[in-house]
Amino acid sequence: MNKKGKAGLIVLLLILVAAAILGASSMYRVGQGEEALVLTFGRVTGRKGPGLYWRIPLIQSVVSESVTTIHTKEYGFRTTMSGSAGTAAKYRDELDESVMLTSDDCIVSIEAVYQYTIRDVKHYHYDIDDAEGTLQLAFEAVIRRNIQNRPLDDALLNKEEIERQVLPDFQALVDTYEIGVKINDVRIQNITVPADVTAAYEDVNNAKNEKTKRLDEAERYKNQVLPQARSSAYEQLTQAQGYKAETIAAAQGEVEVFKAVYEKYKAAPEVTRTRLFIETMERVLSGSSRVIVADQNNDLVKILNLDGEKTDPGITTGAMEGGL
């Protein structure tokens, strides 16, 4: 073989080797439980399930992600060192997340864990800038809303109920954001009153108990006094109504008497005046024991002794005036 033939053979071999290398690098495999995205010039142009595929070198790239792996996220705390057989795990509080208010304005601290799986790789990696951060904010919104609708005692005693309510609400909110994940589980690890507000909480609790005690005492006093007050009011009302009826009847009687006298007066004025004068004098003099009578004809004054004592039968007016 001449030199020209050898050179051609070498070139052919190089081409075959390059083609083999290029072909091998263009092949990719998607494993079980994974989903792959095919990117052409950085844009998603395809999705691939488990299997063996070919891509255009230098033009296309592939990103794969497990859709069965369960991801666990912590809320309200972070694990700083995992525990082992002889070493306890270490944690760090995240107070910005954990501290929240109940419906009765009490402070609680919540530590929780939620788990999720990715079910849409495109949404998770390319449609949301920070999928994990968005998930954390969504969980915080849901858990805070739930706790804010509960009084303190309810929040402390019903962790399982909170978990059952938070899970579907969390999933619904995540779906509106189109993050592309499935929420598998929510676990409330702990709900406590922070140590630095425990004393204040006890003061508030004592104040509530004192308020309840005072309300009970007031209710008992009301039940004791109110019937007595009602009875007294009824008695006074009955007396007032009786007095009213009596006064009205007396006034009506006087009116009738006046009417009768007035009718007699219209029939015989002089006789009626004399009769009224005599009756009036009888009432006026009924309590007197001695009466002085002036004679209009001769200026004599007579003293009438109504007690039966003797009196001077005649005393002049002048003598009477001097004596008086």
Give the residues across from 107 on adjacent strands: 101
Q: Within 13 A of 7's CA, how many CA atoms are on the CB side?
A: 3
Burial of 307 (0-12, 13-18, 19+ CB in 10 A): exposed
Angle, in degrees to the nearest 10, between helices 195-267 and 269-285: 130
The domain limits of the chain are: 11-66, 71-193, 199-280, 288-324
pLDDT over 80 (residue 241):
yes
- Superfamily of domain 71-193 in CATH is Band 7 domain (3.30.479.30)
Residue-level pLDDT at 171: 97
Residue-level pLDDT at 3: 61
For the chain, percent of residues with pLDDT exceeding 70: 79
Residue-level pLDDT at 278: 78
Predicted TM-score (pTM) above 0.75: no
pLDDT over 70 (residue 102):
yes
Identify whether the C-beta of residue 28 lies closer than 8 Å to the C-beta of residue 53. Answer: yes
